[in-house]
Amino acid sequence: MNFDINSMMQQASKMKEDLQRKQEEFSKKIFEGSAGGGMVKVNVTGNGEMQKINIDKSLFAEDDIAMLEDLVVAAFNNAKKILDGESSNNFSDATGGMNIPGLDKLFK
């Protein structure tokens, strides 16, 4: 069994470049979450920052602030769940399927 450190270093360097490129691309993606049957929609970037929120006007007519607050939180959590799932898939591809614990959290 031959151990080629140069080859291993080249592979590690390429993996690092791939991960950095994927992270940059991922941070520009927008993930939409919704709640209340689409009455509240939230857009979140790949970095987890909320960019936009849309609230159906009919929710204001109901004069129920607590329900609206709950729907905003639910929509954000839905977007974050979608983002997290996509993040796991995205970085798994970059590492060639190698499971590196905590890797996806390094880029959030």
Confirm whether 84 is domain-assigned.
yes
* Cβ-based burial of 31 (10 A; exposed 0-12, middle 13-18, buried ≥19): buried
Q: How confident is the model at residue 61, as a pLDDT?
A: 82
Domain encompassing residue 38: 24-106
Count structural domains, the chain: 1
Backbone angles phi, psi at 35, to 5 degrees: -150, 165
CATH number at residue 87: 3.30.1310.10
Quick: pLDDT tens for 23-77: 899 999 999 999 999 999 999 999 999 999 999 998 888 788 899 999 999 999 9
Q: How confident is the model at residue 95, as a pLDDT?
A: 61
Query: DSSP assignment of 9-38, as one string?
Result: HHHHHHHHHHHHHHHHHHHH-EEEEEETTT
Confirm whether 28 is domain-assigned.
yes
Confirm whether 1 is domain-assigned.
no
Confirm whether 43 is domain-assigned.
yes
Quick: pLDDT tens for 71-92: 999 999 999 999 998 888 776 6
Whether residue 108 has pLDDT greater than 50: no
Confirm whether 7 is domain-assigned.
no
Confirm whether 16 is domain-assigned.
no
Tell me the pLDDT of the chain averaged across its residues. 84
Confirm whether 40 is domain-assigned.
yes
Sheet holding 30-35, edge to edge: 30-35, 40-45, 50-55
Confirm whether 45 is domain-assigned.
yes
